[in-house]
Amino acid sequence: MIAPDLIGFGLSDKPRRYDYSIFDQADLCQALLNRLGVAHCHVLAHDYGDTVAQELLARHLENRARLDSICFLNGGLFPETHRPVLIQRLLKSPIGGLVARLTSKRRFADNLRRIFGEDTPPDDEHIDTFWDLLRAQDGLLAMARLIGYMDERRAHRARWVGALERSAVPMKLVVGAADPISGEHMTQRYRELIAAPDISLLPRTGHYPQVEAPEAVLAAYRAFVGR
């Protein structure tokens, strides 16, 4: 299993003068696979990573990548169904850099709780871990730059949604239904556009099903890749 933190996230570097883009993230993922000698792989992605996975899928269709399967967790697969919360809209605004600098742990925790399911709120340990990973290497300063992915999704919708529509790679969608950003409403669009959609909808689960309902996510994923 290979589980990299994308640049700008987690424990990876978070350069200040850097043009964060989905295309570059895909390049870095492919460079990592090449360095490790991995010719083809299964992909499990979430949120921002979903869009990186869509670009990898587009490259698969161009014979520039080799994917065995792809499983998406909650994420903005379709820009028309993505519902950014207030903090995301503020980060994308002209004052995004200031908002990022002024973000406190308390405010961060409040925002995090709003996108978890009512029955599966984050505990203090989860909040501490998320916050520490966000702040690592001055990560708060990268937030306003990373948020540009929302514009990229709109600009490259034909390529990334088209990759989903044309894909012959086995695809699976596992979604926390109660996610206000990319929950059940996103799966409705997925059903409209994707032939024979394979969806596992997790009721009363929010934006982070891998944290809120890990056993259910693992069971759904194992059943998918084990076919």
Interval 4-14 mean pLDDT: 96
Q: How many Cβ atoms from other residues are within 10 Å of residue 126's Cβ?
A: 16
Taking only the tens place, the pLDDT of each residue in 56-82 is: 999 999 999 999 999 999 999 999 999
pLDDT of residue 98: 87
Higher-confidence residue of 138 and 163: namely 163
Long-range contacts of 187-196 (CB under 8 A, 24+ apart): 188/81, 189/77, 189/78, 189/80, 189/81, 190/77, 190/78, 193/78, 193/161, 193/164, 193/165, 194/164, 194/165, 195/165
pTM value? 0.95
Does residue 49 sit in helix, strand or coil? helix
Q: How many Cβ atoms from other residues are within 10 Å of residue 73's Cβ?
A: 26
Higher-confidence residue of 157 and 84: namely 157
Domains of the chain, each with CATH number or no CATH: 22-225 (3.40.50.1820)
pLDDT over 70 percentage in the chain: 100
